[in-house]
Amino acid sequence: MSTKEILILTGGGLHFLTLIASAMVPKTLDWKGELAKLIPFLRTLFWVYGIFIVLCIVSFGVISFVNFRALAGGTTLEARSICAFISIFWGLRLITGWFFFDVSEFLTNWFLKTGYHVLNLMFVFQTFVYGYCAFL
């Protein structure tokens, strides 16, 4: 198994680990209370966006596990395009998190602070691994 294949499989697993943090978000950010303040349409829209993001992350993990050899090989336009998309997705997530979100009020204990930093490291890993397979 090549280094790229191992990196893609690791990336696939990290997508599923990201979902653990996603599952904690509604309680940690008090979505029940905060979303209750919105009109029903916006409340539903918010949940739909959240579900679609989760489905994208699940898809990234499944695609990575099922097609790790093709993605790592980068010999087809499709494989390189998928890797490029995943890399850009996580890179933009990093930029958004660093420059547009102030999460400091929610990082109230060591567990949440550690989790936040681990997630950012995972996003960096995803950005570089999939970028590496797409562009090099």
- pLDDT of 61: 98
Spatial distance between the Cα atoms of 62 and 14, rounded to a whole number of angstroms: 11
Judged against a pLDDT cut of 90, whether residue 50 lies above it is answered with yes
- pLDDT of 49: 95
- pLDDT of 82: 96
Spatial distance between the Cα atoms of 50 and 44, rounded to a whole number of angstroms: 10
Token code pair at residue 131: 């970028």
Q: Which of 118, 120, 119, 109 is nearest to 28 (CA)?
A: 109
Q: What is the pLDDT of residues 6-24, one digit of tens each?
A: 999 999 999 999 999 999 9
Average pLDDT, the chain: 95
- pLDDT of 4: 96
Judged against a pLDDT cut of 90, whether residue 74 lies above it is answered with no
State whether residue 108 is helix, strand or coil: coil
- pLDDT of 11: 98
Which runs of consecutive H residues, i.e. helices, occur in the chain? 3-28, 31-35, 40-66, 68-73, 77-99, 110-135
Q: Are 133 and 71 in contact (CB under 8 A)?
A: yes
Write down the pTM of the prediction. 0.91
- pLDDT of 75: 84
- pLDDT of 133: 95
